[in-house]
Amino acid sequence: MLVKADVFIFYFVWITMAQLLAQEEKEKTTALKDLLSRIDLDELMKKDEPPLVFPDTLEGFEYAFNEDGQLRHTTTGEPFVFNYKEDLHRWNQKRYEALGEIITQYVYERLEKDCKLRKEMLPVDATEDEPKSFIYLSEDAQTNADKLLVLIQGSGVVRAGQWARRLIINEDLNSGTQIPFINRAMKEGYGVIVLNPNENFLEVEKVPEAEQSASDTSDEPAEKRERKEEREGKKKKDFYEKYRNPQKERETERIPIRENSSPEEHTLYVWDHFISKSLAENIFVVAHSYGGLSFVELLIQREDEVKSRVSAVAMTDSVHNVWHQEANRSIQEWLKERCCNWVSSSEPLDTVVDPMLPDCLRLSAGTERHELTSWKSFHSIFKFFDKHLEQQMEEDVDEEEPSTTVTTRGSNRTKHEDL
């Protein structure tokens, strides 16, 4: 009986302690909620991070491009510094993005003023109020009967005339923009079309939903209201732990640009309305990264047209995949004959690299940096185009020469056996 009494007393004490601990935990939780409700986290954390307001000109950032096309501080002469404010990564990133938008406008100016390209709005039949994109063309892009060069960049924030924003900011204009390709092409008699495959939508500020009036929440049960406040408190706390400053950025929504809402759509649209209508006998394409995938998609959608008009394609670290994109055998064979992909590799420039897929020749770009592949293979690409031009000229001469071969049953049999 004494044992049972001891057990009963033990359980009684244990249950009492558990209840006391639970009560204490509940009181701590209530106190924490009360503390959080009295702290304005937004105001507290804004003291840690400066406002997300940045200059809208290079001069405002105190940067300029020097004679070598390098971005340098106008006072110190130093390269761009990303980590401008220590331990404020989000603020530094927003500053970098603001500078990137200025760089985009700067490159547009260079295309128009230095390269003498003209802007063509898309869609071609766009109304005044609908979202629009654009491309750049040389004056002879559609009238040059000899050669046309088409430039397609990769995906991301880069816009017309750019290969890589990072290179423009940290290296120079030559490596990061398409300007050297445009200048050389125009010097060698090409017409030029510069695509803009990442300008796919118009971003507008989202109209905020009307806030619920106090009367809307007054009818809510107390328990439901408490759970809602608890969720909001946790959301604020999590946000604080993720960012030092939850400065509210404007909410936006994206309105797609008609028939140009993706890189693939844009490439197809420009082909239908501009490239295919050019008079050029020989069309050449340079496609970087995702631009290679967009070109292969164009080839799939307009196979006969592309094959009959495009003389050669130079890809740089292209991410296309003939299997995933379901390219047929004839397309794969055409790519083997007309396409070369300069890929990131530690091997010297133009070294043959083992093919990953049965589509086109892969050569080393002489760099392991993806974004540098276009610039590093610059001279090799134009040599590649020259080679195909020579082959095309030889084929044209052969077609013009009258045939002097006497057709016999034996010669026909030999041809058939060779095939």
Task: Note the pLDDT tens digit of each residue in 130-189.
Answer: 999 999 999 999 999 999 999 999 999 999 999 999 999 999 999 999 999 999 999 999
Give residue 16's pLDDT: 66
What would the mean pLDDT of 234-240 be, rounded to a whole number?
53
How far apart are the two ends of the chain, measured CA to CA in Å?
A: 106
Reported confidence tier of residue 87, pLDDT bands at 50, 70, 90: confident
Asked which of 11-20, 245-254, 259-268, 355-364 is least confident by mean pLDDT, the reply is: 11-20
CA separation for the pair 260, 9 (Å, rounded): 78
Domains of the chain: total: 1
Active-site entry in 289, 364, 374, 377: 289
Task: Say what the pTM is.
Answer: 0.76
Q: What is the dihedral of CA 150, 191, 106, 367, to 10 degrees?
A: 50
Q: Token pair for residue 282?
A: 């020989």
Least confident span in 77-86, 108-117, 259-268: 77-86
Query: 83 pLDDT band (50/70/90 cuts)?
Result: confident
Residue 76, number of CB atoms within 10 A of its CB: 9
- Average pLDDT on 402-407 reads 45
Q: Which amino acid appears at position 377 of this protein?
A: S
The answer as to whether 162 is a domain residue is yes
Beta bridge pairs of residue 342 = 316, 363
What is the per-residue pLDDT for 215? Answer: 45
Domain that holds residue 191: 117-202+256-398
| Confidence band, pLDDT 50/70/90 cuts, at residue 30 | low
Strand partners, 313: 285, 339
Residue 96 tokens, joined = 């970098």
Which whole number is the average pLDDT over 52-71? 94
Residue 407 confidence (pLDDT) above 90? no
How open is the CA angle 299-300-303, to the nearest 5 degrees?
60
292 falls within a domain: yes
SS3 content of the chain, % helix, strand, coil (to 5): 45, 15, 35
pLDDT for the residue numbered 235: 57
Mean pLDDT confidence for 358-386: 96
What percent of the chain is modeled with pLDDT above 90?
Answer: 63
Q: How confident is the model at residue 276 (pLDDT cuts 50, 70, 90)?
A: very high
C-alpha separations of 92 from 55, 158, 287 in Å: 13, 19, 31
Q: Which of 43-57, 211-225, 260-274, 374-388 has the lowest mean pLDDT?
A: 211-225
CA dist., res. 42 & res. 223, Å (int): 26
Beta carbons of 362 and 354 less than 8 angstroms apart: yes
DSSP 3-state of 32: helix
Query: What contacts 213, CB < 8 A, 6 or more positions away?
Result: none
CA atoms in the 13 A half-sphere facing the CB of 139: 3
Q: What is the distance between the alpha carbons of residues 192 and 182, in angstroms, rounded to a whole number?
A: 7
Residue 271 within any structural domain of the chain: yes
Residue at 337 is within a domain: yes
pLDDT at position 241 over 50: no
Mean pLDDT of 232-241: 54
Per residue in 282-310, pLDDT (tens digit) is: 999 999 999 999 999 999 999 999 999 99
| CA 410 to mean position of chain CA atoms | 58
Over residues 389-415, mean pLDDT:
57
Q: Are strands 282-288 and 310-316 parallel, antiparallel or unpaired?
A: parallel
**Is the predicted pLDDT of residue 94 greater than 70, yes or no?**
yes
For residue 43, what pLDDT is reported?
Answer: 47
- Kindly state whether residue 335 falls inside one of the protein's structural domains: yes
Q: Which helix (H) or strand (E) holds 375?
A: helix 373-376
Tokens of 57: 């000109």
Active site residue 289: yes
C-alpha to C-alpha distance for 140 and 186, rounded to whole angstroms: 10
Q: What's the CATH code of the domain at 165? A: 3.40.50.1820
How buried is 92 (Cβ within 10 angstroms: 0-12 exposed, 13-18 middle, 19+ buried)?
A: middle
Most trustworthy range by pLDDT among 331-345, 356-370, 387-401: 331-345
Q: What is the DSSP letter of 148?
A: E
Instruction: Answer yes or no: is 231 within a domain.
Output: no
Centroid of chain to Cα 143 = 31
Residue 261 lies in a domain: yes
Q: Can you tell me the distance from the alpha carbon of 239 to that of 185, in angstroms, rounded to the nearest whole number?
A: 51
Element (H, E) at 46: helix 41-46
Neighbours of 208 (CB within 10 A): 8
Please check whether residue 218 lies inside any domain of the structure: no
Helix/strand number for the chain, H first, E second: 16, 12
Residue 212 to residues 30, 38, 208: CA-CA distances in angstroms? 26, 22, 12
For 326-342, write each residue's pLDDT tens digit: 999 999 999 999 999 99
- Residue 277: which residues within 8 A CB-CB, separation 6 or more? 142
Give the amino acid at 286.
V
Q: Is residue 44 scored above 50 in pLDDT?
A: no
DSSP-assigned beta bridge partners for residue 343: 364
At residue 405, does pLDDT exceed 80? no
Write down the mean pLDDT value for the chain: 84
* Model pLDDT for residues 306-318, shown as the tens digit of each residue: 999 999 999 999 9
Contact yes or no for 122/260 (Cβ under 8 A): yes
Mean pLDDT within 275-288: 98
What gap in Å lies between CA 106 and CA 104, rounded to an integer?
A: 5
